[in-house]
Structure 1
Amino acid sequence: MDFHRLVGLRSHPAWRLLQADSAPLIISFLHRSFIATNQRSIAAEELVTRLDDYLHHLRESSGENKYPRKGRDYLNDWASGEQGYLRKYYPAASVGDEPLFDLTPATEKVIEWLSGFEQKQFVGTESRLLTVFRLLNEIAHETEVDPQLRIDRLEQEKAELELEIARLKSGQMAPHDPTRVKEKFLQAEDTARQLLSDFRQVEENFRSLDRGVRERITISNSGKGQMLDDIFSEQDAITESDQGRSFKAFWSWLMSPSSQDELQTILEKVLALPEVQSLQHDELLGRIRFRLLEAGEKVNSTCAQLVEQLRHYLADQAWLENRRIMEIVREIEQSAIAVRQSPPPDKLFTTLQPCKPEIELPMSRGLFRPAVRPVIDEVPEEGQAEFDSTALYSQHYVDERELRARIRHALQNRQQISLSELVKQYPVRKGLSEVVAYLHIASESDHALVNAEQDEVIVWLDDKGHQKEASMPEVVFTR
């Protein structure tokens, strides 16, 4: 890390983020939205609403002139190519046109680095030293080439295990050290957080490969075989690299049902320990299995996009080759027409193969296939039906994003609110379907509680002004 290297790093997004005037706003909001909640991607409208609420609270405490722009403008600037603090993209399997936002690896590294400045509960050194010693010991054991030394080591471990079994059978069980339990748990939590952070970098590496393939396809004039050979060579190099093999081994272990069950059992046992419950920790390890599955799935989807790009390339190349063949056939037909109008004087200017009868068997004919694009010769006339068609135009749609915005707005000045109180503040407009939508939001949210032991009555008016009621379990939304 010399002087010129540091000068070049000044254009890195992480360095630009630390130098930005609004760095406290950017880092605090992104940490609150992505890191604290352990979310990989957030829809644009939801993130805009969160930022508007966050800016509203900052203006109340810091002045109305603080951060005067709208949240959507800030997010677009942070995701622009000049900044690169966020990644704005459209998912491949998305039905609508709403983009998603995700942290870039550079931004996550800045947040992780600044989080290290906070005062920790205590700094554990013994577990880290034992971890270093254990890793070095495993490396030395795995690389040992002398069979006798490996046998002696295994015999020593066997003797230690037999001695431990004998102590347990005799009732001698050494109590565990609460300090070491806390120390190891905090180390496991930091390692899990770093693992989730590394997945964004792995995804970025595969995305860079996909972007490089697209650029090479665009500017390359080489043949299809040479292009595919180069692309597959690069993909194999990444797959067979240390990073690729490590990710493949991780994904194989995580997709094993027995491994998942074992991990879940260990987590439930560890999180129930009194020493762990006395610590101030988040819910990261409690849902680490689902977070890892989500992060690994995003990496696999990025690899799938690379394969899809290769498929499109092959389809385009085949279309270009067929077009060239048709051009050659057309040139031959034009030449034949020109020769027919002015035949050469020599009668034997060309020869043909002897004609043979063509045999066409009935069973060799293909089955009927409907046209992919049917040709409609006549414009269809407008039909008439003996039913009331107004029901087709009287449908309504319940927008869950609007309902979520109501919940967030109602919780700005309070810690929790019940559904009955919420509908008093925002009356039900679309009947029972809107109430059911609130239940659906509560069932999917981690910040909602459905109390089956307590009932509440939801009241609304229908289109004709008649009062309707629904008795249901109490639903409470919290911040």
Structure 2
Amino acid sequence: MVTRSDAALVQSAARFDRVRRDSAWSLLRANQAPIVLAVLHANFVESGEARVPATVLFERIGDDLEALRVAGHELPQSPQRYVADWLDAGYLERRTGSAGTSGAGSGAGSSAAETYELSADALAALRIATEIVTPPRSVTESRLTTVMGQLEQLAIDTDTDVASRLESLTRERERLDHRISNIREGRIDVVAPDAALERIRDILLLAEQLPADFARVRRDVESLNVQFRRDIIESDGARGEVLDALFRGVDVLQDNEAGRSFGAFYALLINPERSAGLDRSIDDVLTRDALGSLKPAERIALRTLVERLTSRGGEVHEVYASLARSLRTFVQQREYVEERRVSRLLKQAQRAFGELSGDGSLIRPTGFTLSLSKAQLGSVSQFTMTAPDTERPPGLVDNPPVELDLDRVRELINESDINLYELRRNVDATLEDLPVASISDVLDRYPATQGLGSLIGLLSIGLERTVNGRAVLVENERDLVAWGDSGLAARVPTILFTQSSEEHP
């Protein structure tokens, strides 16, 4: 009797709880799941196109939405908006170029080089939904034969006993000799039509699962690339494990279980002899009378099987190669050194913030208001075009001239930006009384009308005048400058304004 572990049960529940955060789960639970699944299946599975250009996809989905609306479904958004939502939800992946990595962002653009494809989670959701809608009619002999044959072959291939291996090979030779003898005597065993259809459909069903495998491998290798870069940057020692492997010339993306598994798959796929043999087998199968009742879609799927596998496999292989080159460049050109420096600075800033956060509240009122210059931002889409035929502007009206209030203009300037004109005038007026003046001297005579903004403006003027010798920046010295009646003060670099280009100590 198998004993159940409570800890294993809890761990299993936690694993299944993580599934709820996957896009596959959210797609199956979505309010419009039937609509989304149908549209994605039609455009990426039934069409036989794993990757569809953006403009083509928008046009096709527009036609699909129109047909569904006629059938009574409430679908108020545009194709572009739905595609953007599915991209955000993780149902689609956007690519640029032939083998780019996933695009970031949530918009649905329309570049000529931009394409969309189903994510691994969307393919998983479609497979689950398809198996629910059209489950296998029965346990097939073909599947059982496949399982038994694989197990028998595995038992032989893992056997290290010489006598046992020779015995297995001898039995296999006897079976082959018996079949050859029967064929020479005219006794040929041909698979029944129903059994042949059963086998070919099991093959097609297995092939339908490969796109999800390709998408998952591609997603995993991209995640692995990010993880390796993070390990290199965050390594405390002079060289981390990943960095040391790269310096030794190891392809870290391929030197792991997933990489080796895909490498073996791709090597088998592009083997000229095996590929040519597979093409011949497909051609022969399609001419057999026993498979005459295959549906047109099944014939197309079988005919294009090698082409689709080679195309998707090549894309994943190119991603491997591209990311491996990028990772080597990241190391060989020592880009990681700067990334490490930035990472250390960020960590230092975070530690400093943590130390300072205990000295006071981050939301404590300071009693100070700083007026900043602002710009009104808006989108071009907010503007509406004027139709000359229906909207005519009113006739021109003569208005009397108005008096220009300079005080009001000055007030508006003060509210919108730092009044540098006023500050320069204050500096020059101070220098009429003093041969050398500091920022504090200027503020003692002329209060900061714009608070901290006036102080910033004086610093800017001082730095500007150091170029022509009318101010001096004293190295390694700072002044404590106060402004207003609030008691606010700041330590700023010591700048001395002068009446001429002569420098003062």
Output the TM-score relative to the length of structure 1: 0.60
C-alpha deviation, 1:316, in angstroms: 5.0
Do structure 1's residue 106 and structure 2's residue 121 form an aligned pair?
yes
**1:144 aligned counterpart, secondary structure:** coil
Please name the residue that 1:73 is paired with.
81
Q: Which amino acid aligns with 2:86?
A: W
Please name the residue that 2:315 is paired with.
298
C-alpha deviation, 1:62, in angstroms: 0.8
Q: Which amino acid aligns with 1:287?
A: T
Do structure 1's residue 213 and structure 2's residue 228 form an aligned pair?
yes
Please name the residue that 1:150 is paired with.
165
C-alpha distance 76-235 of structure 1, shift in aligned 2 (>3 A): farther
The 5-angstrom pairing of residues 71-470 of structure 1 reads 71-80=79-88, 83-91=89-97, 98-119=113-134, 122-216=137-231, 223=238, 228-229=243-244, 236=251, 239-280=254-295, 281-282=297-298, 283-314=300-331, 317=334
Cα distance per residue 1:444-471 (max 9 Å; x no partner): xxxxxxxxxxxxxxxxxxxxxxxxxxxx
C-alpha distance 232-205 of structure 1, shift in aligned 2 (>3 A): farther
Matching residue within 35, 39, 50 for 2:45: 35
Distance 1:162 1:182 in 2: 28
C-alpha deviation, 1:167, in angstroms: 1.7
Decide whether the 8 Å contact of 2:233 with 2:336 is kept in 1.
no
**1:116 aligned counterpart, secondary structure:** helix
Cα distance per residue 1:70-111 (max 9 Å; x no partner): 11011111112xx111112322678x6642211111110010
Decide whether the 8 Å contact of 2:55 with 2:112 is kept in 1.
no
Distance 1:144 1:229 in 2: 37
Decide whether the 8 Å contact of 1:14 with 1:107 is kept in 2.
yes
* Worse-matched range after superposition: 149-158 or 211-220: 211-220
Decide whether the 8 Å contact of 2:251 with 2:324 is kept in 1.
no
Please name the residue that 1:463 is paired with.
none
C-alpha deviation, 1:36, in angstroms: 1.3
Q: Which amino acid aligns with 1:105?
A: A
Distance 1:234 1:35 in 2: 40
Cα distance per residue 1:407-461 (max 9 Å; x no partner): xxxxxxxxxxxxxxxxxxxxxxxxxxxxxxxxxxxxxxxxxxxxxxxxxxxxxxx
Distance 1:284 1:309 in 2: 36
**2:322 aligned counterpart, secondary structure:** helix
Please name the residue that 2:31 is paired with.
21
Distance 1:137 1:17 in 2: 40
C-alpha distance 271-319 of structure 1, shift in aligned 2 (>3 A): closer
Decide whether the 8 Å contact of 1:214 with 1:309 is kept in 2.
no
Distance 2:132 2:248 in 1: 43
Cα distance per residue 1:190-222 (max 9 Å; x no partner): 111122321111111111112223444566676
Please name the residue that 1:347 is paired with.
none
Alignment RMSD, CA only?
Answer: 3.0
Distance 2:132 2:81 in 1: 30
C-alpha distance 38-210 of structure 1, shift in aligned 2 (>3 A): farther
Distance 2:177 2:186 in 1: 14
**1:298 aligned counterpart, secondary structure:** helix
Q: Which amino acid aligns with 2:184?
A: K
Q: Which amino acid aligns with 2:149?
A: R
Do structure 1's residue 60 and structure 2's residue 70 form an aligned pair?
yes
**1:87 aligned counterpart, secondary structure:** strand
**1:21 aligned counterpart, secondary structure:** coil
Distance 2:99 2:191 in 1: 50
Structure 1 regions of 5+ residues with no counterpart? 325-479
Distance 2:176 2:119 in 1: 47
Please name the residue that 1:430 is paired with.
none
C-alpha distance 235-23 of structure 1, shift in aligned 2 (>3 A): farther
Decide whether the 8 Å contact of 1:213 with 1:231 is kept in 2.
no
* Worse-matched range after superposition: 228-237 or 178-187: 228-237
Distance 1:162 1:227 in 2: 54
Distance 2:139 2:304 in 1: 24
Larger radius of gyration: 2
**2:132 aligned counterpart, secondary structure:** coil
Distance 1:235 1:79 in 2: 35
C-alpha deviation, 1:33, in angstroms: 0.8
Cα distance per residue 1:355-383 (max 9 Å; x no partner): xxxxxxxxxxxxxxxxxxxxxxxxxxxxx
C-alpha distance 197-274 of structure 1, shift in aligned 2 (>3 A): farther
C-alpha deviation, 1:312, in angstroms: 4.0
Distance 1:29 1:86 in 2: 12
Please name the residue that 1:476 is paired with.
none
Cα distance per residue 1:130-178 (max 9 Å; x no partner): 1111111111112223222222222222222222222222222234322
Decide whether the 8 Å contact of 1:88 with 1:101 is kept in 2.
yes
Decide whether the 8 Å contact of 2:243 with 2:331 is kept in 1.
no
Do structure 1's residue 4 and structure 2's residue 14 form an aligned pair?
yes
Decide whether the 8 Å contact of 2:253 with 2:320 is kept in 1.
no
Q: Which amino acid aligns with 2:260?
A: R
Distance 1:235 1:315 in 2: 13
